[in-house]
């Protein structure tokens, strides 16, 4: 036994410095936009040297990831409460996504930085292995929203519904980030209309005429999500 060296998971030693740097950065980003803010300014406004900022955050983008993680931690409990009030699937999904839009609204411009990394090999990507914890938590929310909601889907597609809803959320937020309409009203409309259409489609899905669609969807989803991870996928950085 080397030592009992993990009594406090995150020693408050200088956790405060980290928090200070992050807070300064977010304030600057909100005020002047992510692109225009330099790491030098972040460090200066936090009262530390440039190297200190890089000691706590590997890159400028890492600040965004930290914000994203912090946000997730703050949002989850609220979603738990909302889901507990067991309402309809539509109301549950609406509540989940709307809560996130509201939460992120003050930092909407900052989210643009997040959305520029789509490559799953990029650690900052919402699809990367590094962000899988956040992603899984998020998908779990949709899984709870689906459970005991009475959705009727064949077993070949039902298991993928939470992941598809998560993907829907990501697409919606991507639109929102770049939505310049007054008060992002286009996003509101897109959200409302597409969600209604999804719910209608889920109801129609049990009709016999939809059978061929299910077959194709099931095949595709299985191949994409349950692909053998040992298949020789290319690990080169593009």
Partner DNA sequence: GTCTATATGGAGATAGAC
Partner DNA sequence: GTCTATCTCCATATAGAC
Ranges within 121-150 binding a copy of itself (CB under 8 A): 121
User: 73, 193, 206, 226: which one contacts a copy of itself (CB under 8 A)?
Assistant: 193
Nearest CA among 64, 40, 58 for reference residue 50: 40
Cα separation, 117 vs 67, in Å, equals: 15
User: Site map for a copy of itself, 151-190, x if CB under 8 A?
Assistant: -----------------------x---x-xxx---x--xx
Cα separation, 206 vs 152, in Å, equals: 7
Contact, 223 vs 104, CB < 8 A? no
Options 19-27, 41-49, 97-105, 218-226: segment touching a copy of itself (CB under 8 A): 218-226
73 versus 200: smaller Cβ distance to a copy of itself: 200
Calculate the alpha carbon distances from 201 to 73, 74, 157, 210 in Å: 32, 33, 14, 10
Tell whether the torsion through CA atoms of 67, 70, 75 and 78 is positive or negative: negative
User: Site map for DNA, 54-73, x if CB under 7 A?
Assistant: xxx-xxxx------------
E strand map for the chain? none
Q: Which residues here bind a copy of itself, judged by CB under 8 A?
A: 33, 35, 109, 112, 115-121, 174, 178, 180-182, 186, 189-190, 193-194, 196-197, 200-201, 204, 207, 209-210, 212-213, 216-217, 219-220, 223-224, 227, 231-238
């Amino acid at each position: 036994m080397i030592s009992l060296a993990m009594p406090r998971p995150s020693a408050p030693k200088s956790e405060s410095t980290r928090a200070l740097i992050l807070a300064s950065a977010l304030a600057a980003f909100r005020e002047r936009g992510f692109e225009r803010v330099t790491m030098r300014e972040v460090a200066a406004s936090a009262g530390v040297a440039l190297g200190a900022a890089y000691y706590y955050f590997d890159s400028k983008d890492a600040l965004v990831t930290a914000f994203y993680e912090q946000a997730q931690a703050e949002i989850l409990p609220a979603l738990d409460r909302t889901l507990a009030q067991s309402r309809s699937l539509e109301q549950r999904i609406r509540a989940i996504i709307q809560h996130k839009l509201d939460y992120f609204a003050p930092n909407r411009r900052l989210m643009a930085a997040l959305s520029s990394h789509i490559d799953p090999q990029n650690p900052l990507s919402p699809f990367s292995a590094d962000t899988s914890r956040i992603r899984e938590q998020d998908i779990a929310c949709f899984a709870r929203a689906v459970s005991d909601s009475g959705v009727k889907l064949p077993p070949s597609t039902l298991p993928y519904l939470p992941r598809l809803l998560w993907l829907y959320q990501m697409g919606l937020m991507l639109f929102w980030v770049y939505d310049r309409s007054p008060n992002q009203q286009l996003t509101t409309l897109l959200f409302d209309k597409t969600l209604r259409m999804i719910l209608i489609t889920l109801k129609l899905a049990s009709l016999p005429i939809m059978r061929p669609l299910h077959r194709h969807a099931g095949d595709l989803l299985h191949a994409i999500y349950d692909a053998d991870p040992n298949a020789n996928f290319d690990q080169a950085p593009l």
